[in-house]
Amino acid sequence: MRTKLFEPGTCALIALVFAALSPVVCAAQQRLNPLMHDRTEPQPRVVVPPAPSTQEQVGRPPSDAVVLFDGRDLSRWVSMDGSPARWKVQDGYMECVPGAGSIRTLQNFGDCQLHIEWATPPTPKGTGQGRGNSGVFFGMDRYEVQVLDSYQNSTYADGSAGAIYGQYPPMVNASLPPGQWQTYDIVYIAPRFDSKGNLVSPAFITVFHNGVLVQYHAPLTGPTSWLERKPYEPHPEKLPISLQDHGDPIRYRNIWVRELGPPTRKELTLPRALLDTYAGVYERGRNDTIEIARHGDQLVATLAKVRFPLFAESETKFFAKTVDLEIEFIKDAQGKVDRLVYSVGEGASTCHKIK
């Protein structure tokens, strides 16, 4: 009998091979200590585990989680372009307003464990992909775990609830009836690229749907998409998580995320319009400048002819990852950006904007 490439058993085998070959994937996992029963090995960090939700009541997140939505407001969410999110919040949940657009987290996440609860409309409308469609995306809209009313609703398998859209159907259909709260617990391992932009290891996704394993460490072929398997394009390891507006009023509640691996600096994806206010030329000395330009969602600084992609830590503070370079932008009394303060490893200098 011929083995199909995308059968669950084969997927798990592929995943194990990738995991074994890929040292970066292990960054989020336990490291094997060659010395067994080592008395000097650090103790695992204490985390108070989550209390599970019921249909009526929302559970508690674990003690080390970043809470993305606690039922009150959308302060941690924005529209995809960084403008305020236009979904509605009521009775402890948020609801997609069809046509308002997808929303994303302001904060970026790489390897992570995400808990999210969702409900499709109690009275189903439409069929197939047209019934209760939304999605949980990682990597700024690139990698989708499908949200769909898949309760007695037939559609193509790799587009049903728990699917990695267009790539891997869920192993089983663990859907509850429409209107009921359902859970996803997802482990996302971001893809890695080398300095030339070549793929070093793919994205991996594991999903529990209502506590049932439906995806196990599935290696993504690239961004998820309708009709085509898109190739990977290099992108930063940490990017926003997003929720899809697919035209249906899907509800979400109790959303929290745990970052995996060693602690890293907080990163945000700021609105492009804000980044544009920082772009320009700043005078560092006689005939010497720092140039700030925007490339997509990121600022790039050119200092002494060396280019540094910058990562936002707050609305005004940025840092580089290859050198301990920090830049803070400062506004004048009229609210216009007129200078920056930068430091490399030590000290701090002010540079005024000249262009």
Cα–Cα dist 120/142, whole Å: 22
Structure tokens at 12: 């798990």
Structure tokens at 128: 């197939």
Report if residue 135 touches Mg ion, rule: CB under 5 A.
yes
Query: Please, are residues 120 and 178 in contact by the beta-carbon 8 Å criterion?
Result: yes
Residue whose CB is less far from Mg ion, 134 or 201: 134
- CB 148, min distance to Mg ion, A: 7
287 phi/psi in degrees, rounded to 5? 55, 30
- CB 283, min distance to Mg ion, A: 49
Cα–Cα dist 275/298, whole Å: 8
- CB 130, min distance to Mg ion, A: 11
- CB 240, min distance to Mg ion, A: 17
Structure tokens at 31: 């490291």
SS3 14: helix
Per-position x/- string for 234-253, each x denoting binding to Mg ion as judged by CB under 5 A, each - no binding: ----------x-x-------
Residue whose CB is less far from Mg ion, 132 or 191: 132
What is Dmax (Cα atoms) for the chain? 74
* Residue labelled with tokens 């030339």: 196
- CB 165, min distance to Mg ion, A: 6
- CB 135, min distance to Mg ion, A: 3
- CB 204, min distance to Mg ion, A: 20
Q: How many helices (H) and strands (E) does the chain have?
A: 2, 23
- Return the range that interacts with Mg ion (CB under 5 A); candidates 127-135, 182-190, 319-327, 338-346: 127-135
Residue whose CB is less far from Mg ion, 111 or 149: 149
Residue whose CB is less far from Mg ion, 133 or 182: 133
Nearest-CB residue for Mg ion: 135
Query: Please, are residues 67 and 74 in contact by the beta-carbon 8 Å criterion?
Result: no
Report if residue 132 touches Mg ion, rule: CB under 5 A.
no
Residue whose CB is less far from Mg ion, 201 or 244: 244
Cα–Cα dist 57/337, whole Å: 46
Q: Is 47 exposed, middle or buried (0-12, 13-18, 19+ CB in 10 A)?
A: exposed
Per-position x/- string for 144-173, each x denoting binding to Mg ion as judged by CB under 5 A, each - no binding: --x---------------------------
Cα–Cα dist 217/225, whole Å: 19
Residue whose CB is less far from Mg ion, 104 or 246: 246
- Return the range that interacts with Mg ion (CB under 5 A); candidates 120-128, 143-151, 193-201, 219-227: 143-151
Residue whose CB is less far from Mg ion, 133 or 155: 133
- CB 159, min distance to Mg ion, A: 8
Residue whose CB is less far from Mg ion, 160 or 298: 160
**Residues binding Mg ion: number (CB under 5 A):** 5
Structure tokens at 190: 């971001």
- Return the range that interacts with Mg ion (CB under 5 A); candidates 62-70, 97-105, 139-147, 299-307: 139-147
Nearest to 215 by CA among 230, 225, 227, 205: 205
Structure tokens at 260: 């995996």
**CA dihedral sign, ordered 96, 178, 150, 240:** positive
Applying CB under 5 A, the residues found at the interface with Mg ion are 133, 135, 146, 244, 246
